[in-house]
Homo-oligomer: A and B are copies of this chain.
Amino acid sequence: MTAELVPGYSQAMNGNQDQSPDVVFRPIRMERVSEKVANQLKKVISDGIFKVGDRLPSERELAEQMGISRPSVREAIQQLEMLGMVETSHGGRSVVKNIAEQEIRSPIEAFLEEDRQRVLELTEVRAFMESWAARMAAQNCTEAEVQAIRRYLEEMERDFERGQIRFEVDFKFHTEIAAATHNTIFVHLIDSIYQLINYSVKIHREQVFVAPESQEKILDHHRKIFRCIEDRDPDAAEAAMKEHLFFVVSEFKKWSSS
């Protein structure tokens, strides 16, 4: 896979519009308000300012912020919906959809239903992807993102005190790290992986027991990961994430075989 970046051989490609001398004038491109709005929204989603699962501002808010009417906003959002970038529901807001889902998820779901060996493969894939994420996060993250990650870590610590575990917090912690890579494609990709793991665990109706001492260990892992990112140390961050996930995998294997 090198040549796809080097399509010099693709003579089949039509060389952009020729500008023959009698056709000097380009057709006037009229852009409707709704299209301008749609482009703005596309940009912020594509740039990752609104991540997958995030809720867009309400139509009224958007209209006010952009100084236009609600119908224009509605039409714009509908365009995005047609493109599959957002999903709206009556009463709820529009949420950013995972663009990779259609391409990634459905073909793989079939495999997951086969046997639980696939779950291990999936976690293996996730392990190296998140390790890379930790590295890139340590390398690229902003101060605001560090704060966001810290917030979720602190929340996990509070939960631990109460002997509580909340899936969403753990999820957000890792998602925030993925977002700090500043690679939108990757964020959508890893979200697909998460969904697949969630899906596979569900269809196998699996319940994993987490011993208290394991929980403490996992919390320590998270602390370490955060510290490495905070210190902007890519190598250490990657290593810490690897350690964490391999531990999780080993716990899972231990339970799985029993």
**Residues on A close to B: CB < 8 A?**
1-10, 12-13, 15-16, 18-20, 30, 34, 42-43, 46-47, 71, 74-75, 78-79, 82-85, 90, 97, 99-100, 102-108, 110-111, 114-115, 117-118, 121-126, 128-130, 132, 165-168, 170-171, 173-175, 183-186, 188-189, 192, 194-199, 201-203, 205-210, 218, 244, 248, 251-252
Chain B residue at minimal CB-CB distance from A12: B168
Question: How distant is the Cα of A175 from the Cα of B2 in the complex, in angstroms?
Answer: 12
Chain B residue at minimal CB-CB distance from A203: B19
Question: How distant is the Cα of A18 from the Cα of B20 in the complex, in angstroms?
Answer: 58
Q: Which of B12, B74, B118, B168 contacts A185 (CB 8 A)?
A: B118
Q: Which of B78, B114, B129, B209 contacts A78 (CB 8 A)?
A: B78
Q: Is the CB of A210 within 8 A of B6?
A: yes
If A1-B174, A185-B118 touch, whether A110 touches B42 (CB-CB below 8 Å) is yes
If A78-B75, A83-B107, A168-B12 touch, whether A130 touches B183 (CB-CB below 8 Å) is no
Question: How distant is the Cα of A165 from the Cα of B1 in the complex, in angstroms?
Answer: 12
Seed contacts A46-B118, A118-B184, A185-B196; 9 additional CB < 8 Å A-B pairs = A4-B201, A5-B123, A9-B168, A12-B167, A12-B168, A15-B195, A75-B78, A99-B107, A103-B106
Chain B residue at minimal CB-CB distance from A169: B3
Q: Which of A12, A78, A185, A202 has the most CB of B within 10 A?
A: A185
Q: Is the CB of B194 within 8 A of A4?
A: yes
Chain B residue at minimal CB-CB distance from A43: B114
A231 → B minimal CB distance (Å) = 22
Q: Is the CB of B130 within 8 A of A110?
A: no
